[in-house]
Amino acid sequence: MSAQPADPNSPTPAAAHVMKPGWLTVNVFNRAVAWMTRRGISVWGSRVLAVRGRKSGEWRRTPVNLLTVDGVRYLVAPRGHVQWTHNMRAAGGGQLILGKHVQDFTAVEVADDDKPALLRAYLKRWKAEVGVFFGGVGPDSSDDELRAVAPKHPVFLVTTTGPTTPAA
């Protein structure tokens, strides 16, 4: 799969597409997963993503699902072009945190035409959690259907840049 370098100044055709999570997701599910992940318990690949804010330079944290396909790791934004995706484009990487272990990484955005297999794998694993954000497209959808929603869901190829270190 080819990847495009993250360009913080490039316009995103689906930048206006952001799906807001519901109250239950924000106040119960995300908090529970983040709490367990901070304590070193991964829930189906969960990590806490830390990425520097593109304006403030401050570390911003959010729970994410780390997708692994054929030994390669990806971050998928099921809710669309949200703050962490904008920050990722600007920063070009960040940290994945699981409990006391921190893994630095670089990120390269994946081209829309290369996303169908990745979105399919993501939906196979987490459709129950995130399927509502894909407008009826699921793991059994055709490549054309997945390609049609691809611009709405940023995907980043994650490459680790050093050993996992204990958090400070």
* 116 band by pLDDT with thresholds 50, 70 and 90: very high
Q: Which pLDDT score, from 0 to 100, does residue 18 have?
A: 57
**Rounded Cα gap, residues 55 and 4, in angstroms:** 23
* 95 band by pLDDT with thresholds 50, 70 and 90: very high
**Rounded Cα gap, residues 23 and 61, in angstroms:** 19
Secondary structure class of 100 (helix, strand, coil): coil
CATH of span 18-162: 2.30.110.10
How does 31-41 read in b/e, with b if 16+ C-beta sit within 10 Å?
Answer: eebbebbbeee
User: What is the arithmetic mean of pLDDT over 124-144?
Assistant: 93
Q: Which pLDDT score, from 0 to 100, does residue 163 have?
A: 72
Q: Which pLDDT score, from 0 to 100, does residue 46 have?
A: 82
Q: Give yes or no for residue 85 having a pLDDT over 70.
A: yes
Q: Give yes or no for residue 87 having a pLDDT over 70.
A: yes
Q: Give yes or no for residue 23 having a pLDDT over 90.
A: no
Least confident piece of the model among 7-11, 75-79, 108-112: 7-11
**Rounded Cα gap, residues 159 and 107, in angstroms:** 6
Beta strands in 29-140, from DSSP E residues, in sequence order: 46-52, 59-69, 72-76, 93-98, 101-110
